[in-house]
């Protein structure tokens, strides 16, 4: 289990973070004094440090500097209150991995942690010749500052590879900042990338640095770059060429030193030919192209990946889960069109629904992995997992048990996501409307979800 150090002079806040991390499968140590933490602990024992910005005697920035002086490359998340964004930017430049603003939800904190820790935990599986060859190239290019364009189908692990490149680069102690160009509207993406001054537009109530500034000295991941609006591509090209950004509303440019990694799940050269992507930007990004193979083309990695996911879930759920030979056989036969992400979500569903530590799958059951609607037998659990034998279970009894398991899955997943229906839907592999309908159908209440967490 990964261990997290929490440093915050507000005891209630520190303990609340500790409890949230416990539900997410992390053990943590709390210190209310950064000075005590430095003198009493070996910081190399921790996979992550979470520190408040404003503390008496030693600030979060001073604490971060002391960590870096000791030569420890542990990721650090800085918690900052309103009005201290500039300090947060300073912390990022000094090597903080990310920051989060107060007030924040524990779901948002967990999402930040999830972005940081996967690469730390050895999520890259490379048993197949294709992945071994790719990782050999990744290790070589990580040592340079060369711009990289990662291509491949959705779910092939492009962000994980990008994080590995950063982690093994000379910039490892500086920020890794990622932005999904497909997930942010055209109007907001420019402000997110380049930042803005106070009053630059309606709603700009304070000065805000962009992702380029936050990644200064480190690596910026431009995820799904082919989804970026054509007009914004010209501004991005200028930043890459000039190595300086113009905040919206600013009169002076700000120099930045950033290594660029971009990803796409499209044939970006085809997008250039169709006039949807700038040719000059394409050649700026395509200095070193790396294509990630779909999972069906490196099947040797399917079982090692599944075992990695099961191990992670075992820690999270407090159960010693194992893959049955039968389930392994099924996994190897599937095409996994959603690639590694689909495989992970499938293992998650099987684990949550299983009544035993050994996970099974009945190949005769249908499986809905497209997320359109629930099907009673989509999870493929053998009747032995539900108690009794096939001959002992009447059709109605089996259907009722499947509904109970479906209800349990929804409640457990909502618990894991702190009640966030959208994230729960993504984990289960269905749309959010289905989750809402099932909550209504099964009369799942908020109090019930809270009770289940305790």
Res 121 pLDDT > 70: no
Q: 58-67, 381-390, 398-407: lowest mean pLDDT where?
A: 381-390
Domain boundary among 72, 107, 142: 107
Q: Is residue 115 part of a domain?
A: no
Residue (of 169, 176, 8) closest to 97 by Cα position: 176
Residue (of 262, 361, 318, 311) closest to 125 by Cα position: 311
Same domain, 231 and 358: no
pLDDT of 118 reads 53
Confidence of residue 141 (pLDDT cuts 50, 70, 90): very high
Q: Is residue 113 part of a domain?
A: no
Q: Which residue has the higher pLDDT, 324 or 203?
A: 324
Q: Could you tell me the CATH number of the domain that includes residue 275? A: 3.40.50.300
Same domain, 319 and 439: yes
* Residue 105 zone, left/alpha/beta (φ > 0; ψ -120 to 50; rest): beta
How many other β-carbons are positioned within 10 Å of the β-carbon of residue 386? 18
Q: Which helix (H) or strand (E) holds 209?
A: strand 208-209
Q: Which residue has the higher pLDDT, 44 or 54?
A: 54
Pairwise CA distance, residues 90 & 7, whole Å? 19
How confident is the model over 48-67, as a mean pLDDT? 90
pLDDT of 402 reads 60
Q: Which helix (H) or strand (E) holds 314?
A: helix 302-317
Residue 314 and residue 320 in contact, taking contact as beta carbons nearer than 8 Å: yes
Same domain, 91 and 172: no
Q: Is residue 135 part of a domain?
A: yes
Res 41 pLDDT > 80: no
Q: Is residue 112 part of a domain?
A: no
Q: Is residue 114 part of a domain?
A: no
Highest mean pLDDT among 73-82, 175-184, 275-284, 313-322: 275-284
Q: Which residue has the higher pLDDT, 451 or 216?
A: 216
372 contact partners, CB below 8 Å, separation of at least 6: 430, 431
Q: Which helix (H) or strand (E) holds 211?
A: helix 211-214
Same domain, 267 and 302: no
Phi, psi for 8 (deg, rounded to 5)? -160, 130
pLDDT digits (tens, 9 = 90+) for 437-448: 888 888 888 777
DSSP character string of 26-89:
-EEEEES-HHHHHHH--GGG-SEEEEES--SSS-HHHHHHHHHHTT----EEEEE-TT-HHHHH
Residues spanned by the domain of 402: 298-453
Same domain, 364 and 395: yes
Res 101 pLDDT > 70: yes
Q: Is residue 359 part of a domain?
A: yes
How confident is the model over 107-123, as a mean pLDDT? 65
pTM (2 decimals)? Answer: 0.63
Query: Using omega within 30 degrees of 0 as the cis cutoff, is the peptide bond preceding 103 cis?
Result: yes
Pairwise CA distance, residues 116 & 163, whole Å? 8
Q: Computed over its alpha carbons, how large is the radius of gyration of the chain? A: 23
pLDDT of 134 reads 94
Res 213 pLDDT > 80: yes
Q: Could you tell me the CATH number of the domain that includes residue 79? A: 3.40.50.2300
What is the domain count for the chain? 3
DSSP state of 293: P
Same domain, 138 and 89: no
How many other β-carbons are positioned within 10 Å of the β-carbon of residue 320? 11
Q: 30-44, 69-83, 230-244, 302-316: lowest mean pLDDT where?
A: 69-83
Same domain, 403 and 371: yes
Residue 261 and residue 222 in contact, taking contact as beta carbons nearer than 8 Å: yes
Pairwise CA distance, residues 4 & 18, whole Å? 9
Confidence of residue 362 (pLDDT cuts 50, 70, 90): low
pLDDT exceeding 90 applies to what percent of the chain? Answer: 37
What separation in angstroms does the CA of 275 have from each of 222, 268, 272, 282, 430?
Answer: 20, 11, 5, 12, 34
What separation in angstroms does the CA of 239 have from each of 227, 244, 264, 361?
Answer: 18, 5, 20, 51
pLDDT of 242 reads 93
Same domain, 223 and 321: no
H helices within 318-431, ranges in order?
A: 325-333, 339-353, 395-416, 421-428
pLDDT of 235 reads 93
How confident is the model over 156-165, as a mean pLDDT? 93
Same domain, 193 and 260: yes
Same domain, 245 and 351: no
Same domain, 142 and 84: no
pLDDT of 218 reads 92
Q: Could you tell me the CATH number of the domain that includes residue 422? A: 1.10.8.60
Q: Is residue 379 part of a domain?
A: yes
Residue (of 338, 346, 294) closest to 131 by Cα position: 294
pLDDT of 340 reads 93
Same domain, 39 and 188: no
Average pLDDT, the chain: 82
How many other β-carbons are positioned within 10 Å of the β-carbon of residue 258? 25
Q: Is residue 117 part of a domain?
A: no
Domain boundary among 293, 311, 327: 293
Confidence of residue 396 (pLDDT cuts 50, 70, 90): low
């Amino acid at each position: 289990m990964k261990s997290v150090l929490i440093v915050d002079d507000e005891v209630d806040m520190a303990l609340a973070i500790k409890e949230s991390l416990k539900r997410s499968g992390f053990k943590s140590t709390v210190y209310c004094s950064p000075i005590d933490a430095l003198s009493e602990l070996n910081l190399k024992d921790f996979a992550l440090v979470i520190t408040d910005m404003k503390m008496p005697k030693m600030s979060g920035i001073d604490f971060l500097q002391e960590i870096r002086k000791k030569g420890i490359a542990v990721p650090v998340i800085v918690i900052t209150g309103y009005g201290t964004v500039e300090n947060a930017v300073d912390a990022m430049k000094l090597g903080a991995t990310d920051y989060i603003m107060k007030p924040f939800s524990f779901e948002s904190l967990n999402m930040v942690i999830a972005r940081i820790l996967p690469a730390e935990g050895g999520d890259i599986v490379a048993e197949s010749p294709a992945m071994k060859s790719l990782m050999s190239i990744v290790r070589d290019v990580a040592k340079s500052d060369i711009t990289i364009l990662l291509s491949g189908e959705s779910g092939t692990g492009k962000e994980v590879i990008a994080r590995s490149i950063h982690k093994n680069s000379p910039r490892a102690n500086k920020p890794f900042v990622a932005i999904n160009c497909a997930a942010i509207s055209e109007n907001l993406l420019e402000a997110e990338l380049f930042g803005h001054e106070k009053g630059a537009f309606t709603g700009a109530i304070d000065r805000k640095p962009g992702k380029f500034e936050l990644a200064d000295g480190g690596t910026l991941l431009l995820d799904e770059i082919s989804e970026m609006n054509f007009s914004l591509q010209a501004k991005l090209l200028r930043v890459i060429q000039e190595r300086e950004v113009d905040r919206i509303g600013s009169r002076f440019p700000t120099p930045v030193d950033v290594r660029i990694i971009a990803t796409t799940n499209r044939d970006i050269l085809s997008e250039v030919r169709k006039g949807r992507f700038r040719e000059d930007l394409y050649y700026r990004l395509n200095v070193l192209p790396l294509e990630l193979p779909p999972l069906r083309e490196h099947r040797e990695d399917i079982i090692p990946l599944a075992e990695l996911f099961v191990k992670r879930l075992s820690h999270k759920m407090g159960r010693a889960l194992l893959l049955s030979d039968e389930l392994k056989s099924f996994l190897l036969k599937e095409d996994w069109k959603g690639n590694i992400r689909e495989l992970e979500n499938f293992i998650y569903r099987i684990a949550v629904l299983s009544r035993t530590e050994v996970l099974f799958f009945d190949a005769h059951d249908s499986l809905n992995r497209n997320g359109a609607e629930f099907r009673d037998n989509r999870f493929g659990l053998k009747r032995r997992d539900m108690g009794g034998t096939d001959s002992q279970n009447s059709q109605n009894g089996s259907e009722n048990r499947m509904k109970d398991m479906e209800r349990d899955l929804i409640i457990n997943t909502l618990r894991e996501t702190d009640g966030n229906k959208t994230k729960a839907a993504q984990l289960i592999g269905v749309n959010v409307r289905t989750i809402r309908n099932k909550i209504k159908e099964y009369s799942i209440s908020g109090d019930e979800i809270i009770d289940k967490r305790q």
